[in-house]
């Protein structure tokens, strides 16, 4: 169960008894873990400056919110240019702004994944267009994605062993 704000920030919380949280929150910072006299542990809670922002990454991948703005010059109300008045703008909500202020990365990228054609030795699928029958005889066309990957790994291992 999540314990919500209490103490001086929320004195009417259900856990508050005589102005003190009955669950012992907020916990004090401690440099080591100790066992209390009543048998309950007092866990290590170092003050290393880290803070948590609840729901910071909620809906991060939906894309930014959009807003449509209309700008008008009060001096010339009759000259209204609808094309210039429409401005495609980005609305930055508070969690997104906080995300940028703290310089968190908002997108993670990894290596590109290629699908390898799996086959038995020298049984790879070959598709030829009319007039390309001689392509089978060329040595450069013998590798499939799978065999080329194996060859690349073998060359890489050889390169590492030579250095």
What is the number of domains present in the chain?
2
Alpha-carbon distance of 121 to 103, in angstroms, equals: 50
What band does 14 get if pLDDT is binned at 50, 70 and 90? confident
* In a domain? residue 135: no
Q: Which of 112, 128, 120 is nearest to 144 (CA)?
A: 120
Which residues fall within 8 angstroms of residue 60, CB to CB, at 6 or more apart?
Answer: 96, 99, 106
Q: Is residue 114 part of a domain?
A: yes
The answer to whether residue 31 is domain-embedded is: no
- Assigned domain for 19 exists: no
Q: What residues make up the domain containing 149?
A: 110-125+141-163
Average pLDDT value for residue range 10-39: 85
Span 47-51, mean pLDDT? Answer: 77
7 assigned to some structural domain: no
For the cut 60, the answer to whether the pLDDT of residue 126 exceeds it is yes
pLDDT at 99: 83
CA separation (Å) from 14 to 26, 32, 48? 15, 30, 30
pLDDT tens, residue by residue, 60-117: 555 555 565 666 666 666 666 666 555 556 677 788 788 888 888 766 666 777 888 8
Asked if residue 156 is part of any domain, the answer here is yes
Q: For residue 72, tell me if it sits in a domain.
A: yes
Let me know if residue 36 belongs to a domain: no
pLDDT for res 20: 87
């Amino acid at each position: 169960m999540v314990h919500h704000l209490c103490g001086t920030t929320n004195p009417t919380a259900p856990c508050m008894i005589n102005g003190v949280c009955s669950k012992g929150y907020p916990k004090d910072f401690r440099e080591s873990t100790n066992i209390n006299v009543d048998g309950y542990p007092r866990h290590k809670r170092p003050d290393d400056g880290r803070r948590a922002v609840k729901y910071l990454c909620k809906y991060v991948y939906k894309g930014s919110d959009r807003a449509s703005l209309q700008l008008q010059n009060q001096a010339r109300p009759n000259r209204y240019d609808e094309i210039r008045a429409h401005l495609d703008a980005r609305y930055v909500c508070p969690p997104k702004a906080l995300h940028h202020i703290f310089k968190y990365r908002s997108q993670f990228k990894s290596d590109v994944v290629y699908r390898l054609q799996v086959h038995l030795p020298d049984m790879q699928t070959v598709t030829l267009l009319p007039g390309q029958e001689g392509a089978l005889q060329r040595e450069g066309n013998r590798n499939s994605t799978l065999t080329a990957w194996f060859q690349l790994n073998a060359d890489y291992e050889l390169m590492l062993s030579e250095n």
